[in-house]
Amino acid sequence: MKPNPRILLPFNFTDACVAALQYASQLAAHLGADIVLLHCAGDTQLTATYQSHLMSRLGSFTDRYMGPALKSLTRFCVVRSGFLRENLPSVVENHRVDLLVANPEALLEDIAPGQVLSLPEFASCPMLLVPPQALFQPLKEIVLSVDLTDLDAGVLERVQKLARTFSAHLTLLHLHGNVEAVQLCQLQKAATQLRAELTYRNTTIVCQEEEDLLEGFNDFSELYTPDLFVVATRDTHLLHEYFSGRYRKTSAYHLHTPLLNLYQAHKTACSGGCTHCNTRERQLEQETVSAAQG
Summarize pLDDT for 63-120 with one digit per residue, the tens: 888 876 677 788 899 999 999 989 999 999 999 999 999 998 888 877 776 778 888 8
**Comparison of pLDDT for 21 and 113, the residue scoring more:** 21
Kindly report the CATH number that applies to the domain delimited by 141-289: 3.40.50.620
Alpha helices in 43-180 (DSSP H): 48-66, 84-94, 104-108, 119-122, 153-166
**Comparison of pLDDT for 117 and 278, the residue scoring more:** 117
Which helix (H) or strand (E) covers residue 261, if one does? Answer: strand 259-262
Encode pLDDT of 110-153 as tens digits. 777 677 888 888 888 999 999 888 889 899 999 998 888 888 88
pTM: 0.85
Architecture per CATH, domain 6-129, reads as 3-Layer(aba) Sandwich (3.40)
Q: What local confidence, expressed as pLDDT, does residue 265 receive?
A: 67
**Comparison of pLDDT for 273 and 258, the residue scoring more:** 258
Q: Within the chain, which residue ranges are assigned CATH 3.40.50.620? A: 6-129, 141-289
Percent of the chain with pLDDT over 70: 84
Q: Which residues contact 243 (CB under 8 A, 6 or more apart)?
A: 104, 105, 108, 129, 131, 255, 259
Q: How far apart are CA 106 and CA 109, in angstroms?
A: 6
Phi, psi (deg, nearest 5) at residue 95: -100, 10
Encode pLDDT of 222-254 as tens digits. 788 899 999 988 888 888 877 776 554 455 666
